[in-house]
Amino acid sequence: MADRHIIDKTLGQILEQTAADYPDHDAVVYVDRGFRLTYSQFDAVVDELAKGLMALGVEPGQKVAVWASNVPYWVALQFATAKIGAILLTVNTHYQRAELDYLLKQSETENLVVADRFRDNDFLDIVYELIPELRTQERGHLHSPRFPHLRRVFFLDQEKHRGMYSIPEVLAMSRMVSDERLAAVKAAQKPDDVVNMQYTSGTTGFPKGVMLTHKSIGTNGYWIGKHQNLGPDDRVCLPVPLFHCFGCVLGVMAAVNHGSCMVILEEFDPVMVMSAVEQERCTALYGVPTMFIAALTHRLFDKFDFSSLRTGIMAGSPCPVKTMREVMERMNMREVTICYGLTENSPVMTQTLPDDDVRRRTETVGKAMPGIEVKIVDPESHVELPTGTIGEVCCRGYSVMKGYYNMPEATAQAIDHDGWLHSGDLGVLDADGYLAITGRYKDMIIRGGENIYPLEVEEFIRHIPGVRDVQVVGVPSQKYGEQVGAFIQLAEGADLTAEDVRDLCRGQISRYKIPKYVAMVEAYPLTASGKVQKYKLVEQAAALWPNA
């Protein structure tokens, strides 16, 4: 291996090695379905699914878009497509008609795999509305004027639907392809080939298809697991969406690289998560901060046993110090780690380690991953800044995406001529290389010439008794350019008012940082992966306080 930091294998090779090393260890478990596969069983299902896809005409280089929650066969499909050289394209479960229409066109997808629904979002209705030809044309020979590249639609479950192949039918077709033919196709795959495309959430601008390789997500997953000390005796609870890097890389690839069991939930529910941890004696738990807050503040929290937990990951958005400490103390996750990155970087660039002191594991997002460089630059000039100076976080290494699909200009804006990926996040490196995130460059509030970092204000307000969570945004102001606005979720039974919050801030943080505008809310607008959509809060703020 040219670089000891890089796993120079395809995803199929990684899985097959793990199945050979730990054939009888649990690989995939769905507690609520009684669904359980060992690594040898899982790899066999993956091969069967791969051969079925080949028999139906799926070829190397074709995209296979998956629009489904964390249902069984999702992870098998991730590896089946990888083994035959197809590109798994993950689709946000919150997408609606226009968003799916855009994605299928922009990605030039040849194959669509769909489940029936996610919550109140009926996928089948949307698909039939966009592709009415499914009801009349022969399966596998689709010709849609709207989507000229699309050839096949699959249903990711047992039921039959007009114009679609069901999973049992795909598996049955595997008999048409020999083991030798599959082996030949697998042998043709290279670690540098694109294996995964993920569309950025679209919280700013149109979504862009991020192209990731076997090497980038395989290696990233290895180090993410290594830094949690994952091994074949670990059981990782995954309530995070698989369509997001948090699920399919931090979760799946970290577990598979180290022979750990994946305890998967179809969607996040705090009681189901706590129940799964207890029943399966999970040693690791993943989630964004809002998920951990939902569990910690649930009225049934004290009824569950968390003694098996030791590690896990909190990531996806800035991690409140208070929440991190509670996770370590009340959920027994003493070795919990924080990861930071972005989809364009496969995704993790920094991670804390279990032996880091508590301050570093609560106030930073760790150090650069092996094989990845991190630096801080001036957001305007792109000149590298000295240690201790806030600027834009950039990274370079094996993990940087190959680019945005069919978007060369956007790619050039994100990755400079020296190979540095510009994150759009603001952060600061200390003398030991630990990174602290201070906010988004575009989220920074500028009030009368004063730069205000929302994360700093949020961290203070979260420690006010009675505050469950807070999100701070800029409110357009004729006088100051922007004023500080805070959307606050109150803890159960709390009766704080907006003026109470401001009073408790006075004398504690700079006057210009104190929220002029405060709204008490029940919930935040979230992406499907649990991230707060701050741009929507900015829109709400402008509507709530139009004369700021």
State yes or no: pLDDT of 52 exceeds 90.
Answer: yes
The pLDDT value recorded for residue 242 is 97
Domain harbouring 482, CATH code:
3.30.300.30
152 located within any domain: yes
pLDDT value of position 455: 86
Confidence of residue 456 (pLDDT cuts 50, 70, 90): confident
Q: Give the CA distances from residue 165 to residues 92, 207, 234, in Å, rounded to whole numbers and listed in that order.
A: 21, 28, 36
pLDDT at residue 203 is higher than 70: no
Angle between helices 39-55 and 74-83 (to 10 degrees): 60
Return the HEC string of 115-167.
CCEECCEEHHHHHHHHCHHHHCCCCCCCCCCCCCCCCEEEECCCCCCCCCEEH
Q: What number of other Cβ atoms are within 10 A of residue 58's Cβ?
A: 23
Chain segment 367-386, per-residue pLDDT in tens: 999 999 999 999 989 999 99
Spell out the SS3 assignment of 430-499: CCCCCEEEEEECCCCEEECCEEECHHHHHHHHHCCCCEEEEEEEEEEECCCEEEEEEEEEECCCCCCCHH
Q: Which of 179, 199, 219 is the last residue of a domain?
A: 199
CA distance linking residue 385 with residue 310, whole number of Å: 37
For the stretch 146-175, pLDDT in tens is 999 999 999 999 999 999 999 999 999 999
Using 50, 70 and 90 to split pLDDT, how confident is the model at 143? very high
**Is 16 part of a structural domain of the chain?**
no
Both structure tokens of 279: 């029943």
CA–CA gap between residue 140 and residue 134 (Å, rounded): 10
Identify the pLDDT of residue 529: 81
- Tokens for 498, please give them: 């907006």
81 assigned to some structural domain: yes
Q: Is 368 among the domain residues?
A: no
Instruction: Look at residue 89 in the predicted model and tell me its pLDDT.
Output: 98
C-alpha 304: how far from chain center: 27
- 343 vs 249: CA distance, rounded Å: 10
Average pLDDT over residues 45-69: 98
DSSP state of 506: B
Residue 313 in domain: no
Give the model's pLDDT for residue 90: 97
Domain boundary pick from 166, 199, 232? 199
Given the structure tokens 């992870």, which residue do they identify?
A: 75
Q: Tell me whether residue 239 is in a domain.
A: no
Out of 199, 218, 233, a domain closes at: 199
| pLDDT (mean) for 420-442 | 92
108: alpha, beta or left? (left if phi > 0; alpha if psi -120 to 50): left
Could you report the per-residue pLDDT of 100-126, keeping only the tens digit for each? 999 999 999 999 999 999 988 999 999
pLDDT at 2 over 70: no
pLDDT on residue 205? 55
What is the per-residue pLDDT for 335?
97
Placement of tokens 């601008």 in the chain: 205
Tokens, residue 420 = 């540095």
For residue 132, pLDDT over 80 is answered with yes
User: Which residues, in sequence order, are CB contacts of 449 under 8 Å at separation 6+?
Assistant: none
Tens of pLDDT, residue by residue over 517-534, are 999 999 999 888 888 888
In three-state secondary structure terms, 413 is: helix
Q: Residue 443 pLDDT > 90, yes or no?
A: no
Q: How many helices (H) and strands (E) does the chain have?
A: 18, 28
**Is the residue at 13 inside a domain?**
no
Comparing 60-64, 224-228, 444-448, 463-467, the range with the smallest average pLDDT is 444-448
Specify if 314 maps to a domain: no
Q: H or E segment at 181?
A: helix 179-187
Question: Where are the extended beta strands (E) located within 221-347?
Answer: 235-238, 261-264, 284-287, 311-314, 337-341
The predicted-structure confidence for 299-351, as pLDDT tens digits, reads as follows 999 999 999 999 999 987 778 888 999 999 999 999 999 999 999 999 999 99
- Give the count of beta carbons closer than 10 Å to the beta carbon of residue 107: 21
Contact call for residues 455 and 318 (beta carbons, < 8 A): yes
pLDDT above 70 for 284: yes
Cα 339 to Cα 318: distance, rounded to the nearest angstrom: 10
User: Given a cut of 90, is residue 400 above it in pLDDT?
Assistant: yes
Q: What is the pLDDT of residue 527?
A: 82
Please work out, in degrees rounded to the nearest 5, the angle formed at the alpha carbon of residue 116 by the alpha carbons of 110 and 117. Answer: 110
Q: Which residues on neighbouring strands pair with residue 261, listed in sequence order?
A: 235
Q: CATH number, domain at 131?
A: 3.40.50.12780
- In this predicted structure, what is the pLDDT of residue 1? 39
Q: Which residues contact 496 (CB under 8 A, 6 or more apart)?
A: 464, 466, 467, 488, 490, 520
| Predicted TM-score of the model (pTM) | 0.90
Domain housing 457:
445-544
Phi/psi region, residue 403 (left: phi>0; alpha: psi -120 to 50; beta: rest), is: left
Mean of the pLDDT values across residues 390-418? 96
Q: How many domains does the chain have?
A: 2
Is residue 59 exposed (0-12), middle (13-18) or buried (19+ Cβ within 10 Å)? middle
* pLDDT on residue 202: 41
Spatial strand order in the sheet of 26-30 = 35-38, 26-30, 261-264, 235-238, 284-287, 311-314, 337-341, 348-351, 367-368
pLDDT band for 540, please (50, 70, 90 cuts): very high
* Band of pLDDT at residue 201, cut at 50, 70 and 90: low
